[in-house]
Amino acid sequence: MDCNPRSLLYILLLLSSCVTSAFPIIYPPNEVNLLDSKASQGELGWISYPSHGWEEISGVDEHYTPIRTFQVCNVMEYSQNNWLRTNWIPRQSAQKVYVELKFTLRDCNSIPLVLGTCKETFNLLYLETDDDQGSHFREHQFSKIDTIAADESFTQTDLGDRILKLNTEVREVGPVSKKGFYLAFQDVGACVALVSVRVYFKKCPYTVRNLASFPDTVPMDSQSLVEVKGSCVNHSKEEEPPRMYCSTEGEWLVPIGKCLCNPGHEERSNTCQMCRAGFYKSTLGNMECSKCPPHSFSHHEGSLHCGCEKNYFRAEGDPASMACTRPPSAPRNVISSINETSVILDWSWPEDAGGRKDVTFIVVCKRCRGVADNGSISGTQHCEPCRSSVRFLPRATGLQNTTVTVGDLLAHTNYTFEIEAQNGVSSLAPKMRQYAAVTITTNQAAPSPVTVIRKEKTSRNSVSLSWQEPERPNGIILDYEIKYYEKEEQETSYTILRARGCNVTLNGLKPNTAYLLQIRARTAAGYGASSPSFQFETSPDSFSISSESSQVVLIAISSSVAIILLTVLLYVLIGRFCCRSKSKHPDEKRLQFGNGHLRLPGIRTYVDPHTYEDPSQAVHEFAKELDASCIAIDKVVGAGEFGEVCSGRLKLPSKKEICVAIKTLKGGYTDKQRRDFLAEASIMGQFDHPNIIRLEGVVTRSKPVMIVIEYMENGSLDSFLRKHDAQFTGIQLVGMLRGIASGMKYLSDMGYVHRDLAARNILVNSNLVCKVSDFGLSRVLEDDPEAAYTTRGGKIPIRWTAPEAIAYRKFTSASDAWSYGIVLWEVMSYGERPYWEMSNQDVIKAVDEGYRLPPPMDCPATLYQLMLDCWQKERNNRPKFEQIVSILDKLIRNPGSLKITANTTSRPANLLLDRSSSEAPSMGTMGDWMDGMRTLPCKEAFSGVSYSSCDTLAKTSTEDLKKVGVTIVGPQKKIVSSLKALESHNKNGPVPV
């Protein structure tokens, strides 16, 4: 092929088949074109110099889009210098420009006859100017960029075909600083076709990274990077300032920092979009919006949190992601176990914790007073918060476990405990809060021991002591008992003092001697345990004193002697006048015992009113005369020997109105009756003890004559127990018994023998406190329907009385102890009649033969043992009331010991009637069997009936028993069941008659 213009045209026609890309060229986004020859459809208007050098030719590209190309091929001629200059190209913001050339170049070898002149390169040059210079063209002004050689050229194939190769060369130009520039192509004798020329510069294009937008940025010409600050997209906030670097190649590098979507927005395709309804986002961040948690909702887009449904709440610290919750339901299955004045409350977890884990419990203590109705609490209750001294273990609020121990409650008091389960939202829904309540009545309890004793002052013969009230008084402390003895004597001889306050001075001590001392407090519930032994020593006998001080001592001693003599004289004189008077409330009462017995009679003793010449004088000495106008009678509550017993109210001036019982003397009485009636007040008025019925006063100066005593809401103990059969706990019963024993101890200490101690003569108040009542002298037994005449004359309540008192009227505190044993039996059998319907004669006989009442049903073994001890034939072997009190105190302190019942332990063989056993006796004869049964009343009854065999007897029914006088249910059942057992026992053969 030769090198004329036509053959070049042929080259261009071939071009379209050589371009491999079948698609329009898309330039990279980081390249900004300043010139693209292909984009121009019409003439480019570049300057060609000389004019026969480069020529502009139209063609089509591979897509048949028209393009403009330039070519030159003056290879046949020498000294070629053909210039082609572009139009002025504005620089824009470019710092460095790139020139991309696409061209074809024929290798000289393929052109025949051109050797020596043909070239295979051309030059690329440029010229910077601030303005377009039009057609003005100066060769020398241009600077060379590079000599461009073809990588590819026309090459010959084996078949002799020529294949056109398109060359692409890119050259950098820069830095450029003027407003624009020209490019020029210098041909020095090559055959070249310039298919396209593109001039561009590079930039880092607008982008969004990490929710920050970065603008188009033109890189620097130098090697250094351009730092670019990003700005956060809408609804986002900078977490760390966003930055990126734009490289010289137009690439974004090293993104630093970022922006986060605002609450209520989430990241979606490089933007922050609002959360949809039903979703929420409460925090700044690029996490997705979350679905509303259970029991909450969001109706709007862009919610920061979800609102709670009705009756559901969110506590202050609850995260938005947490479900809405509600207060828990009430605790379940509250169980209380009472131990004296403390109670353990146990309950189950609430059924519904409200959806939370922070459930705790609070226990509210209320002290409730109901209108007492025979010991039970009626419907109307008045409650007040418990005293702050009530102790909760571990605490009353914020309990994590389902149990609490409440201590230091008052004895015999009704309490209501409200147990509420609480969680974090309870305070937000006060109306939804629920609690479980339990009502309890505490038992009686003695005060806790005194633990702190201090020695204040010691001298040769005296010591002053003070102490702290017991930690748990369990009631009002009536007084303290101080017992002390010489350490050496080891309690064989001791002294007892009583003090109302918490200090005492012990006088009359031996000098230089060690003493041991114990203190115990007393309340209505009796004595508490003694304090640990406290040792003190008096000062030595001989100690040196200065002559000056000895003078003072001498004066002091002589004046003391004078004072003592004066006091003794006064005492003797006053004693003459007032030998029978008593101090009603002495602050200290001194008792002295030697070898455990009364040694010095300093104790206030009971004075028999009958020793007064005029018994009415005794009444006025021991009883307060009341004005009848202070007394209001309400109703009749019982019948006494001398008249009705009423309930009413007593209002003394400047005192609170109190409930009282009023015993009246019915009209038409004789002088003796009046005396006997008032004798009870004379006796009662001498006593001052919580377990002895208290006398308020008497009305003797107007009619009716009245004895006013404290009111005991539950009446007499026997009927009270029968009314509440099997309703009390063992501890409650023991509490009552302890009260009676404590009252009896007081009476025996006073030297008073009751003679008629029985449950019917014990009164019970609303707090279950038992008090001994019914004081009289000869009439005591006269007015007791239980009293029967003995062979020696006088009436005696046989079933309650000790054998020696029945036999020869030996009434002592020891015979009272026997009666106490019977009361014990009555209490434990809930008011059963001792010896049932046995005749008095049979009782006397049986007791004399050594038979004793059997243990009542479920009677604790210790209590039955105590009964048996009280029923010792030898009266000195019976326990003293002090011992009884201490035995009962031990039981109260250790209620577990009540669990062992007498029925289950081995019992003495000489029981009168064992109602709990149903074993058939294996006796030969009917008489033996009756003896074996120890059913004296029955034996007696059956003795008048003729039975031919045990078979006949075994067919006996309850009705038959009634006919023969066995009317009490206990023995009836026992006998019938024993007979039935006997019947089956005898099936094997007849029993000899």
Which residues, including other chains, have CB under 8 Å from residue 291's CB and lie 6 or more apart? Answer: 278, 279
We find the least distance from the C-beta atom of residue 665 to ligand AMP, in angstroms, to be: 11
Distance of CA 323 to the CA centre of its chain: 25
Q: Does 623 bind ligand AMP (CB under 6 A)?
A: no
We find the least distance from the C-beta atom of residue 828 to ligand AMP, in angstroms, to be: 21
We find the least distance from the C-beta atom of residue 812 to ligand AMP, in angstroms, to be: 23
Query: Which CB, 148 or 712, lies closer to ligand AMP?
Result: 712
Query: Which CB, 711 or 800, lies closer to ligand AMP?
Result: 711
Q: Is 756 a catalytic residue?
A: yes
The Cα 175–Cα 199 span in angstroms is 14
Helix (H, G, I), strand (E, B) or coil at 70: strand
We find the least distance from the C-beta atom of residue 826 to ligand AMP, in angstroms, to be: 14
Q: Does 126 bind ligand AMP (CB under 6 A)?
A: no
Q: Does 784 bind ligand AMP (CB under 6 A)?
A: no
The Cα 549–Cα 547 span in angstroms is 6
Count CA atoms closer than 13 A to 937's CA, side-chain side: 22
Single out the segment in contact with ligand AMP by CB under 6 A; choices: 559-567, 706-714, 825-833, 957-965: 706-714
The Cα 711–Cα 632 span in angstroms is 13
Nearest to 365 by CA among 442, 426, 432, 431: 442
The Cα 100–Cα 168 span in angstroms is 7
Q: Are 794 and 835 in contact (CB under 8 A)?
A: no
Q: Does 410 bind ligand AMP (CB under 6 A)?
A: no
For the window 812-841, what string marks contact with ligand AMP as x by the rule CB under 6 A? ------------------------------
Query: Which CB, 591 or 780, lies closer to ligand AMP?
Result: 780
We find the least distance from the C-beta atom of residue 446 to ligand AMP, in angstroms, to be: 24
Nearest to 154 by CA among 137, 166, 144, 140: 166
Instruction: Return the amino acid letter for 765.
Output: N
We find the least distance from the C-beta atom of residue 541 to ligand AMP, in angstroms, to be: 56
The Cα 992–Cα 796 span in angstroms is 42
- Four-residue CA torsion sign, 308, 309, 310, 311: negative
Single out the segment in contact with ligand AMP by CB under 6 A; choices: 255-263, 638-646, 815-823, 984-992: 638-646
Residue 644 assigned to a binding site:
yes
Query: Which CB, 390 or 763, lies closer to ligand AMP?
Result: 763
Q: Does 709 bind ligand AMP (CB under 6 A)?
A: yes
We find the least distance from the C-beta atom of residue 666 to ligand AMP, in angstroms, to be: 12
Instruction: Return the amino acid letter for 543.
Output: F
Single out the segment in contact with ligand AMP by CB under 6 A; choices: 30-38, 168-176, 450-458, 711-719: 711-719
Query: Which CB, 396 or 762, lies closer to ligand AMP?
Result: 762
Query: Which CB, 640 or 932, lies closer to ligand AMP?
Result: 640
Q: Which of residues 751-780 bind ligand AMP (CB under 6 A)?
A: 763, 773-774
The Cα 383–Cα 330 span in angstroms is 21
Q: Are 883 and 754 in contact (CB under 8 A)?
A: no
Q: Are 883 and 742 in contact (CB under 8 A)?
A: no
Q: Are 666 and 643 in contact (CB under 8 A)?
A: yes
Q: Which of residues 476-535 bind ligand AMP (CB under 6 A)?
A: none
We find the least distance from the C-beta atom of residue 654 to ligand AMP, in angstroms, to be: 24
The Cα 630–Cα 657 span in angstroms is 9
Two structure tokens written together for 785? 């329907």
We find the least distance from the C-beta atom of residue 585 to ligand AMP, in angstroms, to be: 22
Q: What does DSSP assign to residue 117?
A: T
Q: Does 712 bind ligand AMP (CB under 6 A)?
A: yes
Two structure tokens written together for 249? 């190649």
The Cα 261–Cα 832 span in angstroms is 87
Rg for the chain, CA atoms, rounded: 61
Q: Does 75 bind ligand AMP (CB under 6 A)?
A: no
Q: Are 236 and 265 in contact (CB under 8 A)?
A: yes
We find the least distance from the C-beta atom of residue 680 to ligand AMP, in angstroms, to be: 8
Q: Does 257 bind ligand AMP (CB under 6 A)?
A: no
The Cα 918–Cα 355 span in angstroms is 58
Query: Which CB, 66 or 638, lies closer to ligand AMP?
Result: 638
Single out the segment in contact with ligand AMP by CB under 6 A; choices: 231-239, 712-720, 820-828, 902-910: 712-720
Single out the segment in contact with ligand AMP by CB under 6 A; choices: 196-204, 299-307, 528-536, 636-644: 636-644
Residue 638 assigned to a binding site:
yes
Applying CB under 6 A, among 638, 794, 850, 924 the residue interacting with ligand AMP is 638
The DSSP element (H or E) to which 598 belongs, if any, is strand 597-600
Q: Does 648 bind ligand AMP (CB under 6 A)?
A: no
Query: Count residues contacting ligand AMP (CB under 6 A)?
Result: 15
Query: Which CB, 712 or 768, lies closer to ligand AMP?
Result: 712
First to last CA, the chain: 165
Q: Does 394 bind ligand AMP (CB under 6 A)?
A: no
We find the least distance from the C-beta atom of residue 667 to ligand AMP, in angstroms, to be: 17
Neighbours of 468 (CB within 10 A): 11
Query: Which CB, 11 or 661, lies closer to ligand AMP?
Result: 661
Q: What does DSSP assign to residue 929?
A: H
Pick the catalytic residue from 749, 756, 774, 784.
Answer: 756
Nearest to 165 by CA among 11, 277, 287, 290: 11
Q: Does 661 bind ligand AMP (CB under 6 A)?
A: yes
Residue 677 assigned to a binding site:
no
| Location of structure tokens 């049964």 | 933
Single out the segment in contact with ligand AMP by CB under 6 A; choices: 137-145, 562-570, 707-715, 786-794: 707-715
Q: Does 683 bind ligand AMP (CB under 6 A)?
A: no
The Cα 992–Cα 927 span in angstroms is 11
Residue in the shown chain whose Cβ atom is closest to ligand AMP: 638
Residue 959 assigned to a binding site:
no
ω into residue 704 within 30 of 0, thus cis? yes
Single out the segment in contact with ligand AMP by CB under 6 A; choices: 113-121, 305-313, 414-422, 634-642: 634-642
The Cα 761–Cα 194 span in angstroms is 141
Q: Which residues of 241-262 are buried (b: 16+ CB within 10 A; e: fewer)?
A: ebbbbbbbebebeebebbbbbb
Residue 642 assigned to a binding site:
yes
Query: Which CB, 643 or 854, lies closer to ligand AMP?
Result: 643
Helix (H, G, I), strand (E, B) or coil at 892: helix
The Cα 470–Cα 455 span in angstroms is 17
Residue 637 assigned to a binding site:
yes
Distance of CA 148 to the CA centre of its chain: 94
Q: Are 774 and 756 in contact (CB under 8 A)?
A: yes
Query: Which CB, 700 or 903, lies closer to ligand AMP?
Result: 700
Report the alpha-carbon angle 557-560-563, nearest 5: 155
Applying CB under 6 A, among 242, 264, 715, 831 the residue interacting with ligand AMP is 715
Q: Does 637 bind ligand AMP (CB under 6 A)?
A: yes
Single out the segment in contact with ligand AMP by CB under 6 A; choices: 198-206, 579-587, 635-643, 788-796: 635-643
We find the least distance from the C-beta atom of residue 661 to ligand AMP, in angstroms, to be: 3
Q: Does 645 bind ligand AMP (CB under 6 A)?
A: yes
Q: Does 677 bind ligand AMP (CB under 6 A)?
A: no
Residue 425 assigned to a binding site:
no
The DSSP element (H or E) to which 329 belongs, if any, is none
Instruction: Return the amino acid letter for 297.
Output: F
Residue 641 assigned to a binding site:
yes
Tell me the catalytic residues. 756
Summarize the annotated binding site as residue ranges.
637-645, 663
Q: Which residues are part of a known binding site for ATP?
A: 637-645, 663
Which residues contact ligand AMP by CB under 6 A?
637-638, 640-641, 645, 661, 693, 709, 711-712, 715-716, 763, 773-774
